[in-house]
Amino acid sequence: MIDPLILLAFVPAALLLNLTPGPDMMFCLGQGLRSGPGAAVAASAGVSMGGLVHVLLAGLGLSTAIAALPHTLDIIRWIGVAYLLWLAWNSWGARTSLKGAAKAKPLSAPRAFWQGFIVNLTNPKFIFFVLAFLPQFVDADRGAVLGQFLTLGLVIGVGGFFINGAIGVMSGTAIQKFGQGGRAGLLLSRMSALIFIGLALRLVWFEKGSLQ
């Protein structure tokens, strides 16, 4: 469905985008710090799945309609802000003391997956990214536009899964190395909370014309 030459040009471009630090990468890093490598990989899978939903909506033409309704984007944005702040609160409060650090349970893989999925799905910047970037590689004359969108989205999703997952695993090894209890565990928990707060502030300052 996609011209092989176009796909060949798209793969390195998508790889460079995946390697660029962004909210998805930082979220997976934060989950790794909070709950270890397993949760980071699950969060990365959720993020990629959320991205594929955005791509599907764009291929169906729904993202264009959503982007044309500013209030809809504001609702999506503030849901994302509230959710990230809730994650930050949970992460910060999970270890309110050194004794609490030893008792805190790591986030399960299913919960990490759904958190990554929701965080990506409520990021309006990804809507504009999909609308601005993917159509450049879609050839309407070849037909099956939705199939082309999904193929390109799958390339981004798979690349992002491995790259963001690797970043999260590396941060998660810090949990295993230093332990989840004591001062190190408290510090890592607070670091992950600050990452989530930073991502929330990034959404607060979101502007329609910004794709970065």
Per-residue pLDDT, 155: 93
Overall number of domains in the chain:
1
Q: What is the DSSP letter of 141?
A: G
Q: What is the DSSP letter of 3?
A: -
Contact indicator for 36, 30 with CB cutoff of 8 Å? no
Per-residue pLDDT, 73: 67
Q: Which range of residues forms the domain containing residue 187?
A: 23-204
pLDDT along the chain (212 residues), means of 10: 82 85 86 87 95 89 70 76 82 53 66 93 80 79 81 92 93 69 63 80 63 40
* Sign, Cα dihedral of 60, 65, 70, 74: negative
Residue 87 domain-assigned (yes or no) = yes
Residue 55 domain-assigned (yes or no) = yes
60-117 pLDDT, tens digit per residue, is 877 667 667 767 767 777 887 888 888 888 777 654 443 444 445 667 899 999 999 9
Q: What is the DSSP letter of 96?
A: S
58: left (phi over 0), alpha (psi -120 to 50) or beta: alpha
Per-residue pLDDT, 184: 58
Per-residue pLDDT, 211: 40
Per-residue pLDDT, 98: 39
Cα–Cα distance, 154 to 163 (Å, whole number): 14
Per-residue exposure over 163-181, b if at least 16 CB sit within 10 Å of its own CB, e if not: bbbbbbbebbebbeeeebb
Residue 2 domain-assigned (yes or no) = no
Residue 191 domain-assigned (yes or no) = yes
Residue 94 domain-assigned (yes or no) = yes
Per-residue pLDDT, 42: 96
Residue 45 domain-assigned (yes or no) = yes
Residue 4 domain-assigned (yes or no) = no
Cα–Cα distance, 154 to 151 (Å, whole number): 5
Residue 5 domain-assigned (yes or no) = no
